[in-house]
Structure 1
Amino acid sequence: MAGIRVIPDIRRYFYAAPAEIGFAEAVAFPAADFVNDAGEPVSSFADFGQSGYYNLYLNGVVQQGQAYHAAPEGLTIYETGQTVAAGTPIILETVGFQAVPTANS
């Protein structure tokens, strides 16, 4: 019977705050400031369009979707009034899905 197999594609990008960052107003982070899972610099974030989504983690805690905007060129964290300490990890996770037809068995 033929079917569909869903294949996830997960990519993570890491940034450590070099100094305290206050979010009294929106703060933009270029993608080039991040490294991937292998510790290699990146020039852009993966964008899976309608077939995926982004998750943002500050210090390991997932953030509400309305608190940020991610695009291939960078990440913007909107005004929250919060402050993160130097060294705080900022992690952007991109998750995409591809549907692949499977052969009859």
Structure 2
Amino acid sequence: MAIIKPFLTSARYTSTIGVGTGVGPAFAIAATAFDNDAGVAATAFPSTFVYYNLYINGILQQGNTSTITTTAITIPNGDAENAGTPVTVEFVIN
């Protein structure tokens, strides 16, 4: 039988497309360009999490839309979006 941790929490980070760098498949936004739930600049994304959700302009994206590390989120062709488009990354952590 699998052991299920009884505690789950989430952490959300917000930014805009305009702070990203690169073009096409190499477009990425650094973790340090995001603000956390407290409105403070993030230093890194969580290193362990169950899953994450990516919202672009408030719309949940499909799972294959991005890849993530502790230092950045890569959104292929994200540079095609308007610079002011909001980006939210939500991590579910246990």
Q: TM-score if structure 2 supplies the norm length?
A: 0.79
- Write the letter of the residue equivalent to 1:73: T
What do residues 47-69 of structure 1 show as CA deviations (whole Å, max 9, x unaligned)?
Answer: 325xx111110001111111100
Question: How far apart, CA to CA, are the structure 2 residues paired with 1:79 and 1:26?
Answer: 8
Given that residues 44 and 73 in structure 1 are in contact (C-alpha distance below 8 angstroms), is that contact kept between their aligned partners in structure 2? yes
TM alignment of 1:1-105, pairs within 5 A: 6-18=6-18, 24-49=24-49, 52-79=50-77, 83-97=80-94
Percentage of identical aligned residues: 34
3-state DSSP of counterpart to 1:18: helix
What do residues 9-49 of structure 1 show as CA deviations (whole Å, max 9, x unaligned)?
Answer: 20000002338x99643301111111101110011001325
- RMSD of the TM alignment (CA)? 2.5
Q: For this pair of structures, how many residues does the alignment match?
A: 90
Gaps of 5+ in 1: 98-105
More helix by share: 2
More strand by share: 1
Q: Which has the larger radius of gyration?
A: 1
Question: How far apart, CA to CA, are the structure 2 residues paired with 1:5 and 1:94?
Answer: 16
Deviation at 1:5?
6.2
Question: How far apart, CA to CA, are the structure 1 residues paired with 2:5 and 2:44?
Answer: 28
